[in-house]
A and B are shown apart, each in its own frame.
Chain A
C-alpha cells in the first residue's frame, strides 16, 4: 500500500509504502482501538484475512484477523457504538460475509455468515434511522438488508431487490437520500449492465426497484455525492475502465444523463474536498493515482 498526506492546496507529500499482505483488494482507514489515531485495514484475498496496520506505531506494527474465503470488499464503521471501528468483508470464495466487532481488549468478535452464491459487495448505512449501522449485501441474486440491533448483531436478511435475471450480483452499493424525503435510499450496480434504485418512504417501506441501463458490461462502481453543490445528491460511477460518469440529481429521485469524464485506467475512486475550497474533488486510482480538482 501507499499512503500520502494532503496539503490545503490539493497536493500530497510524505509518501509511505508498506506491505499489506497477500492480495490486498480493498483498503480502509479506521480507528479500531479508539486511541484517536487512524489505523489502516486491507483485505488479503489470497490469505482469507484482513490486515491492520496500527496508527500508534506510525503504521509499522500490524495484526491480522481471519475472514471467510476470499475477502474482496471491505467496509469499516462502529457497529456497536463503543467508539471502536468494526469491519465487514464480502468473501467471494465461499459466498459469505465476515462481521468483525472489535473487543474492548485485543481482537475482534468474528462472525461469518453465508449469504448466497455470487456475493460480491457489502455496505454500511443506518437504513431505519435508529442510529445503528445496518449491513447491505448481495448474494443469490438478491440485494439484502440486515438490521443492526445496536450491539453489532444483525437480524434476518430482508430482500430489497431480487434480480430479474437470476443470480446476477450487485457488485457496488451506495446509500444516500436521493429524493429529499429525509430517508436513505439505495443505488447499486445490477451486474455490470444496469443501475438499480430503491427508494425508502417515510413509513419505512421501500418502493419498487427502478432499473436503468448503462453501456452493457461497463458499470464497475457507484457512489453518491453532491458533486455540483446544488443540494441534490448525484450518482458517480466508473463505467468501463477509462470513464467516470456523473449523473446529476434533480432532487426527486431522477437524474440527468451521464456527464462523462475520460480518465486513464481507473479501478477505484473517492470523493472529497482535497484543497479546502468547499467543492468536491475526485481522486481515482488504477495504474496511477490522479486527482481531479473541481474548477467552478
Chain B
C-alpha cells in the first residue's frame, strides 16, 4: 500500500514537472510559428503609414550627376515595343544567360 502511494506521488510529481516544462517551452517563441500580437483591427484615420503633405515628398536634384540618398530621377522614357493590343503582363530576367536584363511581355 505504501509502495503504491509512493508510486502515485512519484508519477504525479513527474507529470507536474513535464507540464511545467511544456508550459515554459510554449512561452518561448519558436522559429516558423506564427504568433499573433494583437487582434486585427483597422487602423484609425490619421495613422496612415503614408505621410501626407509636401514636406513628406523629397525634392530630387535630377541629373546633377551626383548620387545622393533620396535622389529619384529618371530620363524621359524610351519606347521599345508598340503593339496593336495592350501588353498586360511583363517580366524581366536573363533569357540568354548574359549579364544584361532582358524582358518578355504579353
With A28-B91, A210-B43 as contacts: A8 and B99 at CB distance below 8 Å: yes
- B89–A38 CB distance below 8 A: no
- B86–A197 CB distance below 8 A: no
- Name the contact of A290 in the complex, choosing from B68, B69, B78, B106 (C-beta under 8 A): B78
- A2 contact set on B, CB distance < 8 A: 81, 83, 87, 104-106
Interface membership of A27, Cβ < 8 A: yes
**How many residues on chain A are close to B (CB under 8 Å)?**
94
Interface membership of B97, Cβ < 8 A: yes
- B36–A25 CB distance below 8 A: no
- B77 contact set on A, CB distance < 8 A: 263, 284, 290-292
Instruction: Apart from A12-B102, A205-B34, A209-B40, list 12 A-B contacts with CB within 8 A.
Output: A15-B81, A24-B89, A26-B89, A27-B106, A201-B37, A248-B70, A288-B81, A288-B82, A289-B79, A291-B77, A293-B78, A296-B68
User: For the complex, what is the distance from the CA of A6 to the CA of B30, rounded to whole Å?
Assistant: 45
Over the window 25-46 of chain B, the binary record of Cβ atoms lying under 8 Å from chain A Cβ atoms (1 yes, 0 no) is 0000111111111111111000
With A267-B87, A270-B90, A294-B74 as contacts: A195 and B100 at CB distance below 8 Å: no
Among B3-11, B12-20, B55-63, the one that faces the other chain is B55-63
Q: Which residues of chain B from 60 to 76 have any CB-CB distance to chain A below 8 Å in the complex?
A: 60, 62-63, 65-75
Interface membership of A268, Cβ < 8 A: yes
- A207 contact set on B, CB distance < 8 A: 37-38
The chain B residue with its CB closest to the CB of A162 is B40
Over the window 256-296 of chain A, the binary record of Cβ atoms lying under 8 Å from chain B Cβ atoms (1 yes, 0 no) is 11110101010111101110100101111111111111111
- B36 contact set on A, CB distance < 8 A: 205-206
Q: Is the interface on chain B under 10, 10 to 19, 20 to 34, or 35 or more residues?
A: 35 or more
B103 to chain A minimum Cβ distance, whole angstroms, is: 6
User: For the complex, what is the distance from the CA of A122 to the CA of B11, rounded to whole Å?
Assistant: 51
With A3-B103, A25-B88 as contacts: A208 and B41 at CB distance below 8 Å: yes
- B56–A256 CB distance below 8 A: yes
User: For the complex, what is the distance from the CA of A90 to the CA of B79, rounded to whole Å?
Assistant: 30
Over the window 37-79 of chain A, the binary record of Cβ atoms lying under 8 Å from chain B Cβ atoms (1 yes, 0 no) is 1101011000000000001000000000000000000100000
- B95–A5 CB distance below 8 A: yes
- B1 contact set on A, CB distance < 8 A: none
B105 to chain A minimum Cβ distance, whole angstroms, is: 5
- B97–A248 CB distance below 8 A: no
With A25-B88, A230-B70, A259-B57 as contacts: A206 and B103 at CB distance below 8 Å: no
Interface membership of A4, Cβ < 8 A: yes
Interface membership of A188, Cβ < 8 A: no
Interface membership of A167, Cβ < 8 A: no
Interface of B is mostly: loop
- A284 contact set on B, CB distance < 8 A: 77, 90
User: For the complex, what is the distance from the CA of A162 to the CA of B65, rounded to whole Å?
Assistant: 46
- A291–B78 CB distance below 8 A: yes
The chain B residue with its CB closest to the CB of A127 is B34
- A180 contact set on B, CB distance < 8 A: none
Interface membership of A1, Cβ < 8 A: yes
- A296–B90 CB distance below 8 A: no
Interface membership of A217, Cβ < 8 A: no
The chain B residue with its CB closest to the CB of A202 is B29
User: For the complex, what is the distance from the CA of A20 to the CA of B72, rounded to whole Å?
Assistant: 36
- B74 contact set on A, CB distance < 8 A: 261, 281-282, 292-295
User: For the complex, what is the distance from the CA of A208 to the CA of B80, rounded to whole Å?
Assistant: 43
With A208-B43, A274-B101 as contacts: A254 and B57 at CB distance below 8 Å: no
